[in-house]
Amino acid sequence: MMNADQFRAYVNSDLIIKDFNRCLYERNIEYDEYFSLLNDYLASPDSFILCGDSTEGHKRNNVITIYHMLANSYPPINDKEPFITFYSCGTSISQGDKLGHFDIGINNLVFRIDPGPGSYIGTFDILKQSSGKIGRDPLWLDGILMTHIHNDHTGGFQAIFERMRWNGIKSNKNKFIIANKTCINGEQQFDCGPILDKYKKNIVKNYGLDRGESIFLDGIKFTATSSKHVESVNNGKFLQDSCIGFKIETDHLSIGITGDTEWHSDLAKDFQGVDIIIAYIVQESERAGTSTQKDYGLNKKIEYHRQFLGEEGVIELAKQVKPELGIIITDYGDQMKSPDGHYHFIPKIIADRIYQRINGIVPIIPAEKGLTIKFIKNKNRYKLRYENNIFRK
């Protein structure tokens, strides 16, 4: 644990001091007063703590809370280039790698996409193993995006949200949640959602999007893209027009995120012109749909998976969209589990197979746990730089 001098040096860094001073100002605590009280607390914690109902008690509680939150945090990294960091890329319990999922940093905003059940623990695993050089402490996130309400995409939301929205060092007034309408408002007919209760909605900005709808935040255009994926079932009725993907656009860079979806022609229209696509692949071409998917009775050509993109869907995206920087495949499902119970080598095999089948028209990049990709601008074009992957075998 940091002593007072170490903590002072920590908060005085260029990346933290502005927010730290604002935090003190909002709590009516002077800078020197804060560190005087902190010294008292560290010298004698038992005698320092007072009833929180008094003015002095609230002030002391703020001193303690700010100290413990920041002293146990990883500081933000000054990322000048846009980046994507993957926290985990598999979805199933049998893989032992629950969805994390990934952060995007662009235009000075950093946001988590589809935080699944392993999101919180997985983030700190990577931060710890990389000494804070890879990954982002959720305390410093600006927002969360969710494509649909299934647990493997929202199961870690509450933990990530609570750390992100903590009413201390970073102001909540500019933090945001963007998701499909089920996550934001719920769907009463299917007893489904919402993920956000009224309390959370009052804390941060929140936007529930239908397909084709857009919002603008800090120079970034977020557009909900189309998806064919069943979100819920009730007495033979399907909630299947509610899931979304995302197109994220700035003046110089655009990123497509498929979300969970089977292949359909609107995907090519939605992502036309994007620089890079993050594709939730889930299945291999050799594997048939699960019994649950077959029960939906949806008629598709046999080469295309029901409910999920699969290799064939990625191939169609590559051929029809041709994103210049490539397609990143992630969100690997049970079907990609290898016979020995591991799958870390499977994504590369699949990426190589897709790349060969499309005759190398665009790069196919297999996401791995801990992988960070940075976008390096060269004149008016971007190229990708791969940071050290701490989990690579």
If asked whether residues 54 and 98 sit together in one domain, one would say no
Picking from 177, 188, 128, 125, the residue whose alpha carbon sits closest to that of residue 154 is 177
The pLDDT score that the predictor gives to residue 12 is 95
More confident residue, 380 or 82: 82
The pLDDT score that the predictor gives to residue 303 is 60
If asked whether residues 97 and 42 sit together in one domain, one would say no
- CATH number of the domain to which 240 belongs: 3.60.15.10
Q: Is residue 357 situated within a structural domain?
A: yes
Q: Is residue 183 situated within a structural domain?
A: yes
The pLDDT score that the predictor gives to residue 240 is 85
Domain C-terminal end among 19, 49, 71 = 71
User: For residue 344, what pLDDT band results from cuts at 50, 70 and 90?
Assistant: low
User: For residue 376, what pLDDT band results from cuts at 50, 70 and 90?
Assistant: very high
Please count the structural domains in the chain.
Answer: 2
Q: Does residue 227 have a pLDDT over 60?
A: yes
Q: Does residue 194 have a pLDDT over 90?
A: yes
The pLDDT score that the predictor gives to residue 292 is 34
Averaged pLDDT for residues 312-319? 94
CB within 8 Å of 169: residues ≥ 6 apart:
16, 19, 20, 23, 66, 69, 70, 139
pLDDT tens digits along 162-188:
999 875 676 778 899 999 999 999 999
Averaged pLDDT for residues 108-132? 92
Q: Does residue 244 have a pLDDT over 80?
A: yes
Per the structure block, which two tokens stand in for 342? 């591991």
If asked whether residues 91 and 29 sit together in one domain, one would say no
pLDDT tens digits along 125-142:
999 999 898 999 999 999
Q: Is residue 391 situated within a structural domain?
A: no
Cα within 13 Å of Cα(340), Cβ side: 5
Would you call the peptide bond into 252 cis, given omega within 30 degrees of 0 as the criterion? Answer: no
The answer to whether 371 touches 85, Cβ cutoff 8 Å, is yes
What are the C-alpha distances in Å from 209 to residues 117, 126, 148?
Answer: 23, 31, 11
The answer to whether 211 touches 178, Cβ cutoff 8 Å, is no
Q: What radius of gyration, in Å, describes the C-alpha atoms of the chain?
A: 22
Exposure class string for 194-207: b at 16+ Cβ within 10 A, else e: bbbeeebeebbebb
Domain C-terminal end among 49, 71, 93 = 71
Longest dimension (CA), the chain: 72
If asked whether residues 158 and 303 sit together in one domain, one would say yes
Picking from 316, 306, 299, the residue whose alpha carbon sits closest to that of residue 283 is 306
Q: Does residue 343 have a pLDDT over 70?
A: no
pLDDT tens digits along 298-309:
344 446 667 889
The pLDDT score that the predictor gives to residue 296 is 37
The pLDDT score that the predictor gives to residue 290 is 41
If asked whether residues 48 and 88 sit together in one domain, one would say no
Instruction: Starting at the earlier edge strand, list the strands of the sheet with 176-180.
Output: 205-209, 176-180, 143-146, 109-113, 102-106, 83-86, 372-378, 381-386
Lowest mean pLDDT: which of 87-91, 264-268, 378-382, 384-388?
Answer: 87-91
Percent of the chain with pLDDT over 70: 86
* Cα angle for residues 143, 146, 151 (degrees, 5° grid): 125
The pLDDT score that the predictor gives to residue 246 is 98
Q: Does residue 207 have a pLDDT over 90?
A: yes
If asked whether residues 97 and 228 sit together in one domain, one would say yes
Picking from 149, 238, 243, 260, the residue whose alpha carbon sits closest to that of residue 194 is 149
Range of the domain at 39: 4-71
The answer to whether 325 touches 382, Cβ cutoff 8 Å, is yes
Per the structure block, which two tokens stand in for 383? 């190229």
What are the C-alpha distances in Å from 100 to residues 14, 126, 208?
Answer: 29, 11, 22
Please give the mean pLDDT across all residues of the chain: 87
pLDDT tens digits along 248-271:
999 999 999 999 999 998 999 999
If asked whether residues 52 and 101 sit together in one domain, one would say no
How many helices (H) and strands (E) the chain has is answered by: 14, 17
Q: Is residue 76 situated within a structural domain?
A: no
